[in-house]
Amino acid sequence: MTRVIKNDAFIPVTLLEVPTLKVVGMKTEGKDGYNAVIVGIVDTKETVKLGKDKTTLSKNVFSDIVEFPIHEGQTFETGADITLDILDGVEIVEITSTSKGKGFAGAMKRHNFKGGPKTHGSKFHRALGSIGNRKPRRTHKGKKMHGHMGCETITLRKVPVELVNKDANIIGLR
């Protein structure tokens, strides 16, 4: 986190480093039924991977390969680098990532339950409470209970882009 000055005001931003991206392939409407570009994230580690025949080195070493949908008029060359020039004129983006893992959590922390009274001899402080009716004699699916918290895929929509530094491959999101 840092801040940038825009229109005489401090704006809090989160800086994200964009890795080196290469176009691996394309999906077309005629062949695959939809239009998409396949992008590989170039691995920055010094590890060397062998090709299929186990004797030659693979030309492109990718840490991850991701597919993105594109519009019908857009085309990309296979092997070309994707730079931050594609963000020219973009003011709002949608970001997806994995939330921070918090391990096993009780119902009060996980679902923001109120809990019971703390005084007057009560022994119901942080417990969950009732989990269902007499019938059906089972716990319904999706019941908010204690369990593993975090490590979920979270998508934030309409995130403003405040800074794009093409030299350092860094973008700043509000």
CA dist., res. 17 & res. 165, Å (int): 10
Supply 83's token pair: 């730079």
**Nearest 10 degrees: Cα torsion 121, 125, 128, 129:** 20
The mean pLDDT value for 52-77 works out to: 73
Backbone phi, psi, residue 86, to 5°: -70, -10
- For residues 1 and 13, the answer to whether their CB atoms sit within 8 Å is yes
Q: Are strands 21-27 and 36-42 parallel, antiparallel or unpaired?
A: antiparallel
Number of H-type helices and E-type strands within the chain:
2, 11
Domain coordinates in residue numbering, the chain: 1-45+59-92+159-174, 100-122+141-151
Please give the mean pLDDT across all residues of the chain. Answer: 87
Q: Identify the weakest region by mean pLDDT among 38-42, 51-55, 61-65, 101-105.
A: 51-55
Q: What percent of the chain has pLDDT over 70?
A: 90
